[in-house]
Structure 1
């Protein structure tokens, strides 16, 4: 009961806002409003260069992007959950520079989802 009163009081003083667009949050998901949450689409790995993961490739005729063909990568595989734009960019900036380490759990969940989709063996390192 006391916890519920405290939470209600804090929401009155500091209403929960979307991390990206700063709109008031109407639901229990603590980071993004529904509009911004809809913008977070996990990258389709089938259309990306398997070495840098940043460039889209034609999977029928290319095995990697022109940059990686010209300058081979040191690491064999790189992956990301999202492109660095919109709500994903805000999430990473707030995690790295905004003093909000609690965001790591949510970011890690998205990375875990992408890792499962990739069906890769367990990595030696995660950076």
Structure 2
């Protein structure tokens, strides 16, 4: 009986430490910020403007293909994902693609948050 108790307590002890590791996702103090702009072609000339009210998606980690969180861009094209843990993320936005069968394509960017209170500005994502 003592052997069983000691094995059980050892297993419980090891399990409690293994469950304390934090993974990507909510519950931290880090942030990802960026900007989305839209390209318009008029008479062969390229014009850019802030992409207001566009959906921006976030995948926790690098393994998934389905998004875990999403936000809309503000009037000036800015967006942010707050209260994230450290780790790897993917930010993506759909862009119009007249030559694509589905009519759109994905613009995706990998992001790493290295410290618990990091604010990672990923720059500008350009869509059509």
Q: Into which bin does the TM-score normalised by the smaller protein fall?
A: under 0.3
Q: Report the structure number with the largest CA radius of gyration.
A: 2
The higher relative CO (CA closer than 8 Å, separation ≥ 6) is in: 2
Q: Which structure has the highest strand share of the two?
A: 2
Q: Which structure has the highest helix share of the two?
A: 1
